[in-house]
Amino acid sequence: MLLLLGTAAGVFFILMLFWQLSQRARVSKRVLASALLVSGVCVTWLGVKLTVKIYHGGVRAAAAVGQRFAPRSGSEIYTALFGKGVACTQVMESLDQVVPKIDIAIWLHFRTCPSEFRRLVARHPFSAKKQATAHWQQDILGAEGEKWFRPQAMGDTVLVYQYATKDNRNIQTFWASLDSTEVFYRDILD
């Protein structure tokens, strides 16, 4: 309604101004000033409303983007990767891959029961081997900055399970204690 009133007042002002100039007629200055004032108030009000709508839309968009790029909790990562875990599963540490190609992988350290670990490795045809950790001189590739990601801390021998897609765009690796109750996991997704 205010938009209609403002538009009408603005059109009236412009028509009266042109009529006065073309006819050399004397239109009351009060009429012209009133029309100009009404149209100015309406345009200002509409400008404020539009600015508020744009601002709130921008705030909502920024919040959505911020939420999308916020790292998930360890339990959220576990559920996204493996489905709902059993009660014996406890995520100790995690690092999410927020931006693929920049963040190299998803990293997890969790404790679980052997039956849950068997469920996890049954999802893909993992290659499995026992590996001695006594001679590991360097950190795991990509985990250099994560001091907590140290499968060597589980003992002198760990179970290593690895799966890679045919194009190597997804590589999943489990490092598990011999009793399969403590697990480190890396999921590289390119």
pLDDT tens digits, 44-97: 777 788 788 888 777 777 777 766 666 778 888 888 888 887 788 888 988 887
pLDDT band at 104; cut points 50, 70, 90: confident
pLDDT digits (tens, 9 = 90+) for 144-177: 667 788 888 888 889 999 999 888 788 899 999 9
Q: Tokens for 21?
A: 């100039």
Q: What is the pLDDT of residues 112-151, one digit of tens each?
A: 999 998 999 899 999 999 988 877 656 566 666 677 888 8
β-strands 170-176, 182-189 pairing: antiparallel
State how far the Cα of 19 lies from the Cα of 12, in Å rounded to an integer: 10
Counting beta carbons within 10 angstroms of the beta carbon of residue 78, is it exposed (0 to 12), middle (13 to 18) or buried (19 or more)?
buried
Residue 183: Cβ-neighbour burial (10 angstroms; 0-12, 13-18, 19+) = buried
Q: How far is CA 106 from the centre of its chain?
A: 14
pTM of the shown model: 0.62
Q: Supply φ then ψ for residue 28, to 5 degrees.
A: -55, 135
The domain spans of the chain are: 2-68, 74-189
